[in-house]
Chains A and B, each alone.
Chain A
Amino acid sequence: MRKHWTFVVRVLIFSLIACAVITIVNYVITPKKYYEDLWPTTATYKGFYKMDKDTVDVLFLGSSHVAAAFNPQVIYDKYNITSYNLACEQQNLVVSYYWLKEALRYQKPTAVVLDLYMLYTFDPSEPLNTSESFTRMAMDSMKWSDIKWDAINDICRLDKKQTISSYIFRNVRFHNRWMELNENDFEFVILENHYELKGFSPLSQRSVASEDHEPFMTTNPEGEAEPEELMMNYLDKIVQLCDDNDIDLILTKTPSDSWDEFKHNTVQKYADKNNVAFYDFNHSDVYNGCEFNWVKDMNDNWHTNVWGAKKVSKYMAKLLQEDYAVEGREYDAQWADTKEYYQHIMDDCKISNTNDIYEYLKEINNPRYTVLIAAQTDMSSCLSDDLKKAFSELGFDMDVEENDSYYGVKSDDTVTEDAGQDALSYVGSARSKLVDFSVTSQGYYAGNACSIKIDDVEYAKQGNGINIVVYCNENRRVIDSVVYNEYLYR
């Protein structure tokens, strides 16, 4: 009998070890997005759980439009309001509802700001209006509780191609990802500690959005758009949930080209009927009220850039403070301590919009960056003495003759460069040998080409002149790729 019991104990120990290993493997293969990604969904949700209990006053929910538009750091710096942006890519209202429910287990917000872009048809082929993969990513980040159980039951009921078992055993959904695993999949413990921006996605493009965009004014108040029935049901649930928890719900629509007056009217009527506020940043009243400039403040035609986000965030924060009595806090280290990190991000964003090469070289002269330079055709014509001097401050000699090939790399405070008439190439690594890169340069007589690859991905603009790629060691991503031609135009 004793022999039998030792067998049972061995079976239990083996089962525990096997379960632990399978759990880790399943976590590794689950797709994750951290701060190196434009839309750091995983970091947003994992970070939320790390916030001190009952310290968040305002929550933002919605799609990527919201993730790019509301900046909790700006809101805290300006108004001392503590907020967290729980938006993510293609967040439909089912996900918004369950994440709000989940958030209320940990925080007691005074107000919730909800964007309604997904109230209308976004992806008609999807039962939940948005792509399954984004719903998965948001839900996979949620801790197990009865709320998650209800959520996945609801999602699987609505979307027949999803299964409850695949949420429990994630290998059912993601096992084929073994072919595409990368550093982030294994470094999740470290990366989940980076949620400094609290869900905000800083986008840096400027002057890309349509120049002839105008905010709309109310011209046809009777015109209405048809919302998605399922989304409308979940909007009702959100309204009810906020009502039950004594939370001020504020409906909004961030600046976006895919919004119009009819959609606005429908939401406005809904808001009036349910006695909730609605602020539409596409309507001329609000648009002009926050002094929005479409070309300067939009990253593209749908998302605000960091400068646009500043305006939208400040406008909303002011409303929250003045109309909703969200008082803010004297000091909270969770927001105060991330100010410096936010400033770094702003510096990164500025770099990709700097045209003047002298100013550019000053900005990239920072140990946070790995700088990779490759000449194509001839770069000597660009190099005045002043410019050489500016480069020398970065550590590059730039000792090139006419039509020479040239490459230069500044990584971990070490500068490597070479010039000559033959084709040149260099292979190295940055971030303590964790990321590899290769730089090749072919001057006029060596083939007229160049390449700057990081982790085997080509980033060089491959134009004639000085090609520069700036990789941010801290955020693990390329923050700018530029070519300066002989007239020093970007």
Chain B
Amino acid sequence: MIYISLKYYVLVIAALILYYIFPLKLRWLVLFTANIAFYAFFYKTGWWIFLLTVIFCYLIGLAIPGQKQKTGKLTFIAGIIGVTAPWLIIKNSNFVIAEILGRDPVSFIVPLGISFYTLQLISYMADVYMERITPEKNIAKFILFASFFPQLLQGPIPRYSQLSHQLTNGNIFDEEKVVKGFQLIIWGFFLKLVIADKAAIIVNTVFDNYPAYTGAYIWIASFLYSIQLYTDFLACTTLARGVSLMFGIELVSNFERPYYARSIKDFWRRWHISLSTWLRDYIYIPLGGNRKGKVRKYINLLITFIVSGIWHGAGFKFLVWGLLHAVYQIIGELTFDYRESIYEFCGIRADSRKKKWIKITGTFLLVNFAWIIFRAETLRKGILLITDMVTEFNPWVILNDRIFTLGLAWKEMVVLGAAIYLFHKIAKYQEQGKSANDRFYSQPMLFRWGVYIAAIVGIILFGTYGFGFNAQDFIYGGF
């Protein structure tokens, strides 16, 4: 909840004012101070684990260049082990202790965003080792890179070459960037409070009370979970991008309308892009990628998605979820020609809208099934939920008022439906390669002001938060 809290935006506003008051060369110091303030306000435990890891990574980064190849490699491997160890112990040891050894789980201190900054630091060391970048010599500037507060907890996972100079060079005031950043923040709040958290009410009712709800209920809840997960994650990266843009810093876009993907491969080009490209650049390609034959490619794919599954969480369900996506892709590739011939047989042209929508729908359904396993309490429950979806027949619950017993009154359902429709329309616009943010910025100021105020009031009234609601943490905030 940090990124939608009042305290956070007080910090952002104070930092913004100081940032643009300070001389250009010293502006990075304001960001550095803001990071410290962020930690002081929100980071009550585990900060020392984070700090030690960052310092260790900094030293490794300094040690690698100039060493002989073998020593450099050893230093790099030591760096990887050192940076990964806290994450492995904190995030994964309980899986071994509880699930495999059957003992009581250990309560670890969990530094916020550990899964994200671990990948960020690994990519830094790898880039230094592969001489793509020169290591940062100024420790304060390195800490600033590793701890940039708007993206620390939930990404996007930045690369040193893309982010560091934006943080340290200082950015001149650009009204366009500030206003566009503000627009992104409003959009982020809309996605989080009006769509994700509202959908979560139904999702939680169905998933948390299994097997009370079956059949059509699970279909509805699973579709809504797909929307919830996407909008929730998109919201937090949109907020991160919005706040950063106000400082003149452009973070990478983490999503490109993933539910418009026409294949699972396409889906991973659009979903959590900073993670996908990280896995591609630091796991898949180093393993050989597709350069060593088909069998090796499929093995590499399986390994990459197993790593992705483990990164998302410890437990068999995450492993299966990752594997499922790899299997989807392998089967997709193996059956490509066969499927194309079916389209041809049915008279569906290669460039037709029908084919496009069949592919989009098919991909979405496959992703949706995988999300059920991702969301379920355990792998077993996930499989049972999917089984019940296809074996229990109760479509009447959609037609009678039973659907309104899942936690949302009909008026709130209308709001959720309208919000999803608006989201879809904007996504369609973006799918044409246009930027809704740019388009809106080009509107007359008074019109924009009217829409800003209407949007703020709309979010205030129709959002899901406050008394009587269990405010949802960002789903990816737990990683």
Contact = CB atoms under 8 A, between A and B. Distances in A.
Contacts of B466: 166, 171-173, 175-176
Interface residues of B, number: 22
B175 A175 contact: no
A32 to B, nearest CB: 17
A321 interface: no
A7 interface: yes
A317 B409 CA distance: 51
Interface stretch (B327-335, B337-345, B377-385, B450-458): B450-458
Contacts of B456: 18, 21-22
Interface size on A, as a range, is 20 to 34
Interface string A1-28: 0011001001000100110011001100
Given A3-B175, A171-B466, A175-B466, A18 B461 contact: no
A26 B457 CA distance: 10
A26 B6 CA distance: 17
Given A7-B175, A179-B409, A17 B453 contact: yes
A25 B461 contact: yes
Given A165-B6, A166-B467, A171 B452 contact: no
Contact of A171 (B175, B412, B449, B461): B461
A229 to B, nearest CB: 26
B468 interface: yes
A166 B452 CA distance: 23
A17 B449 contact: yes
Contacts of B465: 172, 175
Nearest to B450: A17
Contacts of A172: 465-467
Contacts of B462: 175, 178
A239 interface: no
Nearest to A18: B453
Contacts of B452: 14, 18
B457 A21 contact: yes
A29 interface: yes
Nearest to A25: B457
A169 B460 CA distance: 10
Nearest to B448: A14
Contacts of B175: 3, 7
A7 B246 CA distance: 14
A178 B445 CA distance: 29
Nearest to B462: A178
A178 B412 CA distance: 10
Contacts of A4: 20, 173
Nearest to B468: A176
A172 B20 CA distance: 32
Interface string B403-430: 0000001011000000000000000000
A165 B411 CA distance: 27
Interface in A147-196: 161, 163, 165-166, 169, 171-176, 178-179
B322 interface: no
Contact of B461 (A7, A10, A165, A175): A175
A169 B409 CA distance: 24
Which applies to chain B's interface (DSSP): helix, strand, loop or mixed? helix
A307 B20 CA distance: 70
B188 interface: no
Nearest to A4: B173
Interface in B180-219: none
B61 interface: no
Contact of A14 (B178, B449, B461): B449
Interface string B153-180: 0000000000000000000010100100
Contacts of A176: 466, 468
B374 to A, nearest CB: 30
Nearest to B445: A10
B170 to A, nearest CB: 16
A54 B469 CA distance: 44
Contacts of A169: 6
Nearest to B454: A21
B150 interface: no
A21 B450 CA distance: 11
Given A3-B175, A7-B175, A165-B6, A175 B457 contact: no
A21 B458 CA distance: 12
B193 to A, nearest CB: 10
A473 to B, nearest CB: 30
B411 A171 contact: no
Contacts of B460: 22, 25-26, 171, 175
Contacts of B468: 176
Contacts of A18: 452-453, 456
A10 B460 CA distance: 23
A18 B468 CA distance: 26
A169 B7 CA distance: 14
Contacts of A161: 467
A192 B328 CA distance: 65
Contact of A173 (B449, B457, B467): B467
B138 to A, nearest CB: 29
A7 B20 CA distance: 13
Interface in B279-336: none
B6 A179 contact: no
Nearest to A177: B461
B463 A22 contact: no
A478 B379 CA distance: 59
Scoring A3, A14, A175 by chain B CB atoms within 10 A of each residue's CB, the highest score goes to A175
A14 B186 CA distance: 15
B441 to A, nearest CB: 14
Given A172-B465, A172-B466, A173-B466, A179 B457 contact: no
A169 B6 CA distance: 11
Contacts of A166: 466-467
A171 B460 CA distance: 7
A169 B459 CA distance: 14
Contacts of B463: 175
B299 to A, nearest CB: 52
Nearest to B467: A173
A292 to B, nearest CB: 41
Contacts of B457: 21-22, 25
A25 B467 CA distance: 17
Contacts of B445: 10
B411 A179 contact: yes
B218 to A, nearest CB: 27
B337 to A, nearest CB: 54
Contacts of A173: 466-467
A21 B453 CA distance: 8
A297 to B, nearest CB: 39
A281 to B, nearest CB: 37
10 contacts: A4-B20, A17-B449, A18-B452, A22-B456, A22-B457, A161-B467, A165-B6, A171-B461, A174-B467, A175-B461
Q: Which 5 A-B pairs have the closest CB atoms?
A: A172-B466, A178-B461, A173-B467, A171-B460, A179-B411
Given A21-B456, A25-B457, 7 more contacts: A3-B175, A171-B460, A171-B466, A172-B465, A173-B466, A175-B463, A179-B409
